[in-house]
Copies of this chain bind each other. A is one copy, B any other.
Amino acid sequence: MQIGILGLGTVGTGVVELIEKNKNIIAKRLREEVHVKKVLVRDLNKQRTPLVEGKITDKFEDIIEDEEISVIVEVMGGEEPALTYIREALNRGKHVVTANKEVVAKHGKELFEISAKKDVNLLFEASVGGGIPIIRPMKQCLSANEITKIMGILNGTTNYILSQMTEKGKGFDEALKEAQMEGYAESDPTDDIKGFDAARKLAILSSIAFNTRITPDQVYTEGIDSISQSDIQYAKEMGHVIKLIAMGKKHENSVEVSVTPALLPKDHPLASVGDTFNALMAEGNAVGPVMFYGLGAGKMPTASAVVADIMETKRSNNGSKLYCTCFNHFDVMDPGQSHASFYIRLRAFDKPGVFAKIAGAFGKNQISLAQVIQKNIINGTAEIVIVTYDVPFKNLQEALCEIKTYKEQVVEVSTVIRVEGEHK
């Protein structure tokens, strides 16, 4: 099997190294050897692994026009030119293996249509959860189930930051800086900390789980940059941890998709997923809850998924492909309609009648309070933490809008976080 690789960054180098490192076991399992024939790079003069000597090119044509290359591996990342290259490769009847969540999440429909027409594979296990088997197990092993819910930690950078804040008591900025020093966060960390990366992965997984096309712009997305050490501490007091949770839920005729920080009870299976680890829980109407756990990013874990997909292009060569399965057309639920229990931290003036005023705004919007903590009086203001029962998000938003107008009573609404698995 001759393959062409587009991109020789961290993941591309990992793919080349893994194919060399495990070549014997790969050849035995596949009953065929895998050879890297050509690699597309931007800069021909940069120092590269000796494994690609004589194989690099800066012209896409050199690869796409090579008749011996049957599999194109796209590991450049970013929307363009990756999308153009993948489209062209499929149109030329070559199998495509990609780790590109952005392209798959945004352009999956178009690309799957081409791959079906040309009867070639479009495989993307590495686009979600790094090396953790998730997409194939969902598509194949759980195929007899109606999936009712998926819920996971899909971004290692934010999980590292939140773990550092929880375990080491660090502030958000300090934890982010450390993540950047450790190489877990980019110099521009926006995609991670704002939840955009997790939203792309959730779009891919929800499309598979609920058999309906979901794109990243349909995912209600909040980041973790508003979470402070105070929130971590309050959560701890209440027996919870804060995680960035990607969630998809099937309702009767709609699908709810969100990426938001959430308080999880300490004994929730996702609560103990630390550091840069990822995990996905899926609930099927036959299998019940299942969880997949492992390293969600990194050179060799991601290469593990890419190379397995390369090997699968051989097995799936005879009409036995993983088709696009988005045969449903469910609406995406308006985030205001979604129900949850919420944690709200706010600062108010420490004087009589203030709490009554705030409580009144919740009451008017049919919001019952499950828990109230008031402390940390500083300069005449008090910190108030409120946990609501399960309420429509819209009602909460209206109550908070109103509370923010109480300039005589309320200094600021500091944080609003969903609470999972309680107060129903």
Contact = CB atoms under 8 A, between A and B. Distances in A.
A287 B315 contact: no
Interface stretch (A47-55, A183-191, A295-303): A295-303
A140 B125 CA distance: 11
Contact of A141 (B143, B146, B303, B308): B308
A294 B138 CA distance: 14
A222 interface: no
Quickly give the copy total for this chain. 2
Centre residue among A145, A310, A323 by max chain B CB count within 10 A: A145
A211 to B, nearest CB: 7
A344 interface: no
A286 B304 contact: yes
Interface in A301-337: 301, 303-305, 307-308, 310-312, 315-320, 323, 325, 327
Nearest to A268: B272
Nearest to A267: B272
Given A28-B327, A141-B308, A288 B294 contact: yes
Interface string A117-142: 00000000100001111001100111
A289 B276 CA distance: 12
Interface stretch (A17-25, A171-179, A195-203, A403-411): A17-25
Interface in A139-181: 140-146
Contact of A145 (B284, B293, B304, B316): B304
Nearest to A289: B294
Nearest to A24: B146
A310 B141 CA distance: 10
A288 B278 CA distance: 13
A229 to B, nearest CB: 23
A133 B131 contact: no
A366 interface: no
Contact of A26 (B14, B143, B288, B303): B143
Interface in A18-38: 18, 21-22, 25-26, 28-31
A274 to B, nearest CB: 9
B131 A136 contact: no
16 contacts: A14-B286, A18-B286, A25-B146, A26-B143, A26-B144, A28-B211, A133-B141, A142-B304, A144-B307, A284-B304, A286-B304, A287-B305, A288-B294, A291-B293, A291-B294, A292-B293
Interface of A: 14, 18, 21-22, 25-26, 28-31, 125, 130-133, 136-137, 140-146, 211, 267, 269, 272, 284-295, 298, 300-301, 303-305, 307-308, 310-312, 315-320, 323, 325, 327
Closest 8 CB pairs of A and B: A318-B318, A133-B141, A144-B307, A290-B294, A131-B287, A133-B137, A286-B304, A287-B304
